[in-house]
Amino acid sequence: MFHFNWKLTLFTVTLLPLLIYLGLWQLAREQEKRETQVGFDLRAAQASVPLAQIDWQAVDDIAWKRVQANGRYDNTRQFLLDNRINQSRVGYEVITPFQTDSGLLLINRGWIAQGVDRQTLPDVSVTDNEVEIQGTVYVPSGDIMVLGEEEPAGQDPWPRVVQSLDIEQMSAMLGETALPYSVRLEPGAPGLTQINWQPVTLSPETHRAYAVQWFFMAAVLLILFLLFSFRRPEI
């Protein structure tokens, strides 16, 4: 016989849809990651194109596109993207302005280890000569997570420690407008430090595992609701 318990019912009808939603959201994220990986693999197999041929308004077309550009690094004004982890070590990603005939491009030169403390910055110097670089256009997906406030480091305002790859904000710091998206260097490109990125941070399989966990919790909640609602009355 069914015994109505309004507290148990309210708890179930409130939590059950949330658990199902979280499971479905993880499945959607799994599909998104698979599409991202496929897109990256397709672009990686294509030849690089000159920077001047990039249509920066065609966002869906330029993500992960391989490009090549000639120009000079700006050794005097560089950024350190904070809280980057590589093999369990804390460090930064080095973002260096690169002046080209097509505009100012922000180049992600890769990962570098943090200094002995927050005030001691690593050496991020790079060649002043004109060089040709090859890399992939990085178009971030979703909102950028910021872990802290922007902060100057040491006595010199450069290099500047930043918490997110915000092109507009970085352009304002530089006093000139950079092209809309950054470029991540490919192996062998001049100026590269150490690659620590990949097209997807969590594998599709991880999202599927999370989805299974949420659906399992939803099933357990529903079973417990039925057990307590239809239990035999005590004699």
217 occurs within a structural domain: yes
HSE (CB half, 13 Å, CA atoms) of 38? 7
Q: Please indicate, yes or no, if residue 231 is contained in any of the structural domains.
A: yes
Whether 169 and 74 map to the same domain: the answer is yes
- 3-class SS letters over the chain: CCCCCHHHHHHHHHHHHHHHHHHHHHHHHHHHHHHHHHHHHHHHCCCCEEHHHCCCCCHHHHCCCEEEEEEEECCCCCEEEEEEEECCEEEEEEEEEEEECCEEEEEEEEEEECCCCCCCCCCCCCCCCCEEEEEEEECCCCCCCCCCCCECCCCCCCCEEECCCCHHHHHHHHCCCECCCEEEECCCCCCCCCCCCCCCCCCHHHHHHHHHHHHHHHHHHHHHHHHHHCCCCCC
Give tens-digit pLDDT for 155-172.
468 899 999 999 999 999
**Same structural domain, 85 and 30:** no
* 60 within domain boundaries: no
70 and 179 housed in the same domain: yes
Q: Are residues 79 and 135 in the same domain?
A: yes
**180 and 96, same structural domain?**
yes
End position of a domain, from candidates 161, 185, 209: 185
Residue 195 covered by a domain:
no
13 lies in the same domain as 79: no
Instruction: Give the side-chain half-sphere CA count within 13 A for 215.
Output: 11
**Same domain, yes or no: 181 and 145:** yes
Q: Are residues 33 and 103 in the same domain?
A: no
Phi and psi at residue 71, to the nearest 5°: 175, -165
Query: Which residues span the domain enclosing 27?
Result: 1-47+201-235
| Domains of the chain: total | 2
Per-residue pLDDT tens for 18-61?
999 999 999 988 887 787 777 777 767 678 889 998 888 887 77
Do 121 and 157 fall into the same domain? yes
**Is position 59 within any domain?**
no
pLDDT-derived band at 116 (thresholds 50, 70, 90) equals confident
Task: Specify the pTM.
Answer: 0.69
Task: Say if residue 75 is in the same domain as residue 161.
Answer: yes
Instruction: Give pLDDT tens digits for 46-103.
Output: 788 899 988 888 877 788 889 999 999 999 999 999 988 888 888 999 999 999 999 9
Same domain, 3 and 82: no
Largest CA distance in the chain: 90
Is 54 a domain residue? no
192 located within any domain: no
Contact indicator for 40, 96 with CB cutoff of 8 Å: no
Spatial CA neighbour of 106 closest among 162, 40, 44: 162
Predicted local distance difference test score (pLDDT) of residue 231:
66
Q: Are residues 29 and 123 in the same domain?
A: no
Q: Is residue 180 part of a domain?
A: yes
